[in-house]
Amino acid sequence: VQSVKRESDTQESAAFGNDALGLCRIETGEALDPVTYGHVTCARCYSYIPAFAFRNDSRLELCGDQLCRDCALGRGCTLAEPNATEDSDLVSSFGNALYLSKWRQCCNAAWRCCQSMVSAPQVSDAEPHCPRTWDGWTCYEDTQGGSMVEKPCPAHAYYHSVEQPCQRFSKKLCWDNGTWYVHPGFHKEYTIYECGAIHNHKFMVGLSIILHSVSALLLLPAIIIFSFYAQLKIQRILMHKHLCTSLLLYGIASIAIDYVLIWNEFPGPGRFEIVASNPAWCKLLIIGWRYFRLAQYHWMFCEAFYLNRLITTAFAEQKSVLLYYSVGWGFPAVFLATYAVFRAKHGDTK
């Protein structure tokens, strides 16, 4: 299905021509000739696609109306054409055919918007109107001042599927003086998109932080009691203590990830910058989170194995707990070290 969609997108796409008269407006407020507009909007469509849609380290940089491997040095630059060949750096940078199809859909929608802007008659009303424009995803017509206009979310806004089953909308505010709302963080005209489930996702992340915090607060006194009461310093309780410790550390790591990497990244113009920049401390945090998650299951196994030994060898002398330490804390370390080495060599991104 994706290959058929990609072929149809390619057929629909046409090289940007210069036969249209007039100028076409984009979200920065610039009015461009159709040829420049086509390349600029298509390049911006590319830049608005999230990082996960691209292959490792293959995403090109936005450089005016071009996409470059290194914008500062002007290396590996190409015009953003929706009918670019399959072997081009631009097309090969996408992770799969679905993401490529979404980009082409956005380019084609921008071009149709330009044709609409050029062909539509000018507003004759003397009242202030916000100008017709392409906002980066959606085409907006001339809008009367002091009004809010809604548009259905376009199909190319949904990167994980062909289209959402429930119709969602974007909203754009036109001030009384005939200017579009400008976001103070982005410093450009801004459209409120409610195409995804970001509010539900934020609620779930907040709920995760609360529940892990409650879990940590309940586990901490249990660990303290296990550690300081002499009559509880036996092998069976020792198993409980290490299991609770692994659960506590996993909860703390989960809170750190949810709060630092997700919750704090929801607002603002540069969402998920930490994940995209891929710093060393972020990698260590993820590895620690995976380690403690694996350790808690290993300590569950140790608990079960210990209870089984108590049943089958009830009158035998209990041996050292060193074996349980190596299984509970050692095995996860071996697995995570292997994972970290392979990830560093073959997938050191995001």
Radius of gyration of the chain (CA): 28
Per-residue model confidence as pLDDT tens digits over 92-103: 888 888 889 999
The pLDDT value recorded for residue 283 is: 87
Domain spans, the chain? 24-193, 198-346
Please report where in the chains the tokens 């779930």 appear, as a residue.
204
Its sign, for the CA torsion 231, 233, 237, 240, is positive
On the question of a common fold for 24-193 and 198-346, the answer reads no
Most confident of 187-201, 223-237, 310-324: 223-237
The one-letter amino acid at 174: C
The one-letter amino acid at 80: A
Residue 215 has pLDDT above 60, yes or no: yes
Residue 337 has pLDDT above 90, yes or no: yes
Q: Which CATH class is domain 24-193?
A: few secondary structures
Per-residue model confidence as pLDDT tens digits over 121-161: 887 777 888 999 999 899 999 999 889 999 988 888 887 76
Rounded CA separation 250/297 (Å):
11
Which residues touch 262 (CB under 8 Å, ≥6 apart)? 205
The pLDDT value recorded for residue 333 is: 94
CB 40 within 8 A of CB 64: yes
The pLDDT value recorded for residue 52 is: 79
Rounded CA separation 220/251 (Å):
11
- Integer CA distances (angstroms), 83 to 64, 67, 102, 136, 149, in order: 19, 15, 13, 19, 32
CATH architecture, domain 198-346: Up-down Bundle (1.20)
Residue 21 has pLDDT above 60, yes or no: no
The one-letter amino acid at 227: S
